[in-house]
Each structure stands twice: as C-alpha cells, then as structure tokens.
Amino acid sequence: GQWLASLESSGRFFQPNVVKVKFTFFHDIILSIQRMHKAGFVHCDIKPENIVIDKTNLDNFIIDFQFVRQRGHRAKGRDGSKRYMSPQYIKTRICDVDTDMWAAGVILYSMMFDEPPFQIRTSQSDAQHAEGAFGGVFNERTMAFTKAALQRF
C-alpha cells in the first residue's frame, strides 16, 4: 500500500482533472469510518498517515488503532494529531463519531485545495485552536466546494 500522505505530497491528488477520483476516494474513506462507527468504535486519530492505499486497485485501509475506543468514552489525554482534532474533542476529551468526521473533513479540504483549512501554530493553546478553528474556513471557495460535494453524493 501507499500512504495517503505520500500521494498528497506527490501532487497527483491536486490535478484539476482528478476531482471525480478525489470524491470517490474520499467516499471510500467515509465508508471505512462508518463501518468502524457501526461496530461501536471511534478511531480518534484519522489523518492521511493512517490511511493506506493499495496501488493496484486504489482500495484504502485505515490503520493505527492505538487510540481506538468505544464511542462516547472520555480520553485520558488528548490523543491524536492536533491538526485533525475537532474543537469539541479538544474541549471535552470525548472522542465520538463527530471527532472522526471532523478529521475526515480536514483531509478532504486538504485534498481539494492543497492546503489545510486552518493553520496550527505550535505555541497555540488547545483553547485557541478550539475557538479559532473556523476562522477563515468558510469563504466563498469553501462554500462552492461544499455545495458541489453535497450534490455529488
């Protein structure tokens, strides 16, 4: 398999003619996450480095189950990667379906626009991250993309 992060850094996922492939690939990621949720578990660390791609048929697999827990259980600490953490998880330390879906949304935005939806400064406190996560994200470009994505599925 090949890491999603490697595909992103190669630039292959950012060519205008592969938007349909991006949506299909993302749809498959969502289906994988949903299967885990239906089984009663949340991953709590969805990020490109934890998605492996089979180059022969482009199937994707979620890996690294270090932080997986049953839905609704409070974490002892803030497990996972800050760039993909939802503001809700940072505030409550409860990893749930919304936590994984937030992270998937960050991945989708990054896949489509070749940049993260917001910047995380290493000195930024968790509270600042949680409060500022939406700043600048919902611009015209994002809204147009979101509408197109919703029409696709």
Q: Which residues pair with 74 in a beta bridge?
A: 94
Question: Residue 120's closest CA among 62, 47, 15?
Answer: 47
Whether 45 is catalytic: yes
Determine the straight-line distance between the first and last CA of the chain, rounded to whole angstroms.
Answer: 27
User: Which of 28, 45, 59, 64 does the annotation list as catalytic?
Assistant: 45
Distance CA(23)–CA(152), nearest Å, equals 8
Catalytic residues: 45
